[in-house]
Structure 1
Amino acid sequence: MANTSVDVKELPACYVFVADVPGLKNSDIKVQIENDSILKISGERKREDGPNVDVKYVRVERAVGKFMRKFNLPANANLEAVSASCQDGLLTVTVPKVPPPEPHKPKTFDVQVATASVGPK
């Protein structure tokens, strides 16, 4: 399981990362933010056999081992509000967006009409 498949979606208010992690428990998965800009998803799948079980595999198709994926997050990612959940073999990491700043609205001022006082000539 050197790599795991991940879909990345951009929604109006957030980015959503959905990773295939079938058979893994929450304790087998780690979600981290590195260097304030990189989302790191990692984990490890182990064989179910205990060390003292005499097993001969006839066929092995399910990958085991450690996996890690890293994603550069955009500047508008709100790193303080990242959340992750795992259900039915899917890890979902939600990274909210920082709301864009209000557009700069020019200020309008009333122009006062000044009367010119004419002095003696």
Structure 2
Amino acid sequence: MQDLTIWFDGGCPLCRREIALMQRLDRAGAIHFVDVAGAEPASCPIDRDALLARFHARENGVMLSGAAAFAAMWRAIPVLRPIGLAARSPLVLALLERTYRVFLRIRPRLQRAARRLDR
């Protein structure tokens, strides 16, 4: 079994929703989820601000960021595993990373909208 840790921003309404879905899909409990918003500094393998700025994972001791981190998470969830395996292709991973960077630019607006829904 692989060792997979995912760090997420529990203060972000988008992140909370996404991680809640991933936790429901992770029926085998293969992923260790760490909420960086409430985490002690000892649980952060890199700078906390960096963890909050981009999605991060550690898969079998290797730190991953952005689309590569998402792909690692997807590989651990059976229904999403084919997408995660496809992302092992450098071309697919590059396309996913480009898409992720576009998402990062619009994320603040999406977060504001999600916060309004949480009220």
TM-score interval for Structure 1 and Structure 2 normalised by the shorter chain: under 0.3
Higher relative contact order, structure no. (Cα contacts within 8 Å, ≥ 6 residues apart): 1
Q: Which structure is higher in strand share?
A: 1
Length-normalised TM-score, structure 1 = 0.20
- Identify, as 1 or 2, the structure richer in helix: 2
